[in-house]
Amino acid sequence: MTRRDLIEMLETGETYQIEFKEKFSSFEKIAKEMIAFANSSGGHIIFGIRDNKKIIGVDSEKTIASLVEKTVRDFTEPIVEYKIFYYDLDNKEIVAIEIPESSNKPHRIQDYKPLLDMNTAQVFVRVNDKSVPASKEMIKLLKMRSEDKELHKYKVGSLERTVFEQFEKNEIITVKILAERANISNRRASRTLINMLRAGLINIHTKDNGENYFTNNS
């Protein structure tokens, strides 16, 4: 990450892959941002910059570096990889963290459990310029994609046909809609949509509140 890259980010403002932080707020909040970037397409956290792009700098580069190191070590699972950069802008110290997209998704807030618990894991993803909680469907999808579990020779049954019939009436479908239309449990509806995702039949989208909806891939 070059100085020119940093200046371009400041000119662009916060986006899907850029987050400004006036200061280090808390371990949990910074862990959430780093996890969201790692679970998505990667990104940057820049300390010493206000949301309005104003450069205010940090009190100590060394302190920020130490806090970030503790964040990934004690508050992320699996540990999120990152690179750290230091800059001087307008005679103020700026610290930038670069988080690459992970190949070991999903990352979660450290819960000291040996395995991922779908019901309690705090997993985050990036949506527009926000880091939001991931739904169970998104967590499953992240895990399956990380494990490269793709479906082959997938057979379309009655539930899948119900999904496509819904698309003829509406461009989107959700777990709740499928469960109600097919008179099945939310769990079975979720499993059906996840399998269709894995087979490449539908796409998944995430709202700002973390809720998911699905669209036809045709």
Q: How far is CA 18 from CA 26, 53, 138, in A?
A: 18, 12, 22
Prediction pTM value: 0.86
Q: Count Cα atoms within 13 angstroms, Cβ side, for 57.
A: 10
**Domain 144-216, CATH class in plain words:** mainly alpha
Question: 53: helix, coil or strand?
Answer: coil
Contact 117, 143 (CB under 8 A): no
CATH superfamily of the 3-133 domain: Schlafen, AAA domain (3.30.950.30)
φ, ψ for residue 42 (rounded to 5)? 85, 170
In this predicted structure, what is the pLDDT of residue 151? 66
pLDDT, tens digit only, all 218 positions of the chain: 888 999 999 999 999 999 999 999 999 999 999 999 999 999 999 999 999 999 999 999 999 999 999 999 999 999 999 999 999 998 999 999 999 999 999 999 999 999 999 889 999 999 999 999 999 889 988 988 887 766 667 788 999 999 999 999 888 999 999 999 999 999 999 999 988 888 888 999 888 888 889 999 87
Sketch the domain layout of the chain as residue ranges. Answer: 3-133, 144-216
What distance lies between CA 102 and its chain's CA centroid?
A: 10
